[in-house]
Amino acid sequence: MGAPDGERLGPYHLLSTLGAGGFGEVHLALDPEGRTVAVKILHPHVAADATALARLAREVETMRLVQGPHVAEVLDASLEGAHPYLVTRYVQGRPLSAVVAADGPVGGGDLVRLARGLAEALAAVHAAGVVHRDLKPANVILTDGGPVVIDFGIACALDSASVTVSGAVLGTPGYLAPEVLEGTGAGEEADLFSFGATLAYAATGRHPYGMGPPSAVGYRVVHHDPDLEGVPGWLEPLLQECLRRDPPARPSAAELLDRLGAAGPAVHAVIPRSRPPSSAATEVHDAAGARELGTREPGRARESVRAQEAAGTRGATGAQEAARAHRATLAREAADVQDTALHEAVAGGTVQELSTREWRPGRRPAPGRPSAEEARERRRAVLHRRWVIGTGLLVSLAAATAREPLPEVSLLLLTTYGLATLVDGGIALFARRNRSRAVVDLACGAGAVALWAVLGTFFSTLTLALALGTVVFVLVAILMAS
C-alpha cells in the first residue's frame, strides 16, 4: 500500500490518488515549489526486490535525460525507505484506452497526430538509450497538446524474477513483442511492436490479437497475424511492418517518424488547398470516389482512366463531355463514402476552404424569415403588451379595494395609470413607428377604469383585499424564484 492521501512523502505533499498499475500507485502531489507532479509509489512486492530496485536506481539517471513534449519526464526518485517512489511530470488528460472505450476508434487528423506523437515519443526515449518495454493504450495519455507517453523504462528496469512472477510485466500480453513473451530479450524493436499494436487498437477499437486469457493472447502474438481490418490504408503498411515477428525487420522509431511525416500530407490531401472554395465540396466527393474505386474496384477505376485518356484524343468538346460523364459516374459510385470522407476531412482540419454564408449589414434575410431588427421589435411589442395589461389589472384591483375606505388613493392610482398610458401612446403616435402600441395603451387605460367600476360594484372590500393580497404574494414569489 502507498502512503495515504494528505500525508507527505519526502518533500512531496500527496493530494489524491490518480490510479494504480502493475508497478505502483500514482498520486497527484505538490512539489516544494507548489507545482503539481505525479508520484508513483512502488507496490510492496516490487519494493521488496532489491535487485529490481538496484537496476531501477541505475536507470533513473538515464531516464531523466529523456525530454520531449510527448513524454512525461522523470523529475525525481527515491528508492530507499519503506515507500520507494518516482516523480514524473503530471499529465492532465485521459488514457487512450478510456477514450477508445468511451468514444470509439480514433480517426482522421486525430489518428495522424496520435501516430506522429507516439513516434516522436519513442524516438526521444530511444535516443536516450532507454527502452519503454510497456507501451500500451493505458500508458498513453491524450491531452490538448497531443499524446503523452508515461512509465517509460520502468518495466525494463524492474524486469526480474520476483516482479515477473507477480504479473506486473506481463499485464497486457497483446501489446508485448513476441521476443518479450518468449523471454529472449527486449530492445528498441519491442517498443515498435507495441507501437503498432497500440495504434491498431486506436484505429479500430479492437485489440489486434483479440481478448481472452493472457496465455491465449500471448500464443496469438507469437503464432498468428494481427487483426488490422478497419485500419486506414495509409497506416496499415506501417503497422504490418511494426508487427512483424522478426525484430530486425521492424523499422526504427526515427524511420517511422520520417515515414509518418511524409505520409501526413497525403492523408490531408482530401481537399486540395490550391483549389477555389466553390469547388471544395466537389473535390471531396471526387477524391472519395477515386479512392474508393482504386481500393475496392481497381478494374472500374482503370476503365475510368482509359475513358479519360480516350476523351483527350477526341478534341476539346468530346473531352468536356467525357469529363462530365466521368464525374457523374464517380459521384454515383462514391455516394456511400462521401460522408466518411467529409468526416475524415473535418477531423483532420482540412475543410477550412469550404465557404459559409456570412450575414452582413444590408443583406436580405431568407424569404419568410424576419430580420434580426424585426425580431427585436416583435419581442419589444410582446413585452410591452404584457406589462401594460398586467399593470392595468393590478391597478384596477388595488383601486377597487381602496374605493370605499380610501377614495383618494383609488383615484390617484387610476389617474397615474391613465396618464402613463396616455403619455406612452402619445409618444408612439408622435414617432409614427408603432401605431398599434398607442392603441394598446389607450385600450388598457379605458379597460382599467371599466374593470375598477365593475369590481367595486359587485365585490366587497374584504373580498377585493384578499384577492389583492393573493396576487401580490404570487408576484413576490415569482420574483424571488427568478
pLDDT digits (tens, 9 = 90+) for 295-350: 434 444 444 444 444 444 444 444 445 545 555 554 444 444 444 443 444 344 43
pLDDT in the model for residue 163: 45
Q: For the segment 118-142, what is each residue's pLDDT rounded down to a tens digit?
A: 999 999 989 888 888 889 999 899 9
Would you put residue 261 in left (φ > 0), alpha (ψ -120 to 50) or beta? alpha
Q: Which residue has the cell 434575410?
A: 365
The total number of residues shown for the chain amounts to: 482
- Tell whether 62 is covered by a domain: yes
* CATH code for position 138: 1.10.510.10
CA 206/CA 202 separation, integer angstroms: 8
Q: Which domain holds residue 427?
A: 373-481
pLDDT tens column, 245-296: 999 999 999 999 888 875 544 444 332 333 333 333 334 334 444 344 344 3
Annotate 395-410 with b (16+ C-beta within 10 A) or e (fewer).
bbbbbbbbbeeeeeeb
Using left for φ > 0, alpha for ψ between -120 and 50, and beta otherwise, residue 6 falls in: left
pLDDT at res. 405 = 84
Report if residue 417 sits inside a domain.
yes
Alpha-carbon separation of residue 28 from 3, 13, 39, 168, 186 (angstroms): 12, 9, 6, 22, 31
For residues 253 and 294, state if they share a domain.
no
Nearest to 443 by CA among 428, 431, 458, 464: 428
Query: Which parts of 170-276 fold into alpha helices (H)?
Result: 178-181, 188-204, 214-223, 236-242, 253-267
Are residue 281 and residue 258 in the same domain, yes or no? no
* In-domain check, residue 400: yes
Is residue 60 in a domain?
yes
Q: Which amino acid is at 206?
A: R
Same domain, 338 and 398: no
Please tell me the distance from the alpha carbon of residue 90 to that of residue 38, in angstroms, as a whole number. 5
Q: Is the pLDDT of residue 23 over 70?
A: yes
C-alpha cell of residue 176:
508485448
- For the chain, the average pLDDT equals 74
Evaluate whether 5 touches 14 at the Cβ level (below 8 Å): yes
Q: What is the pLDDT of residues 341-390, one digit of tens each?
A: 434 443 444 333 333 333 334 444 445 555 556 777 787 788 888 888 88
Residue 366 lies in a domain: no
Residue % of the chain over a pLDDT of 70:
70
Cβ pair 100, 201 in contact under 8 A = yes
Alpha-carbon dihedral angle through residues 16, 21, 22, 23, given to the nearest 10 degrees: -40
**Residue 291 shares a structural domain with residue 335:** yes
Are 165 and 211 within one domain? yes
pTM > 0.85 = no
Q: Is 2 within the bounds of a domain? A: no
Mean pLDDT of 227-235: 93
What gap in Å lies between CA 469 and CA 479, rounded to an integer? 15
Picking from 266, 285, 311, the residue at the C-terminal end of a domain is 266
- Write 461-468 long-range contacts (CB < 8 A, 24+): 461/401, 461/403, 461/404, 461/405, 464/397, 464/400, 464/401, 465/401, 467/397, 467/401, 468/397, 468/398, 468/401
Quote the pLDDT of residue 231: 94
305 lies in some domain: yes
Residue 40 in marked binding region: yes
Mean pLDDT across 83-107: 90
C-alpha 55/C-alpha 131 separation (Å) is 14
As given in the structure block, the three cell numbers for residue 179 are 521476443
Shared domain for 283 and 249, answered yes or no, is no
How many angstroms separate the Cα of 184 from the Cα of each of 56, 162, 196?
20, 18, 20
Q: Considering the domain boundaries, does residue 352 fall inside one?
A: no
Q: Is the predicted pLDDT of residue 63 greater than 70, yes or no?
A: yes
Indicate the range of 30-34, 323-327, 411-415, 467-471 predicted with least confidence. Answer: 323-327
- Identify whether 336 is a catalytic site residue: no
396 and 290 both lie in a single domain: no
Asked if 77 and 212 sit in the same domain, the reply is yes
Of the three residues 242, 266, 290, the one that is the final residue of a domain is 266
Domain count of the fold of the chain:
3
Contacts for 112-115 with beta carbons within 8 Å, 24 or more apart?
112/260, 112/264, 112/267, 112/268, 112/348, 113/146, 113/147, 114/140, 114/142, 114/146, 114/147, 114/199, 114/202, 115/199, 115/235, 115/238, 115/260
Q: Which of 49, 110, 134, 151 is catalytic?
A: 134
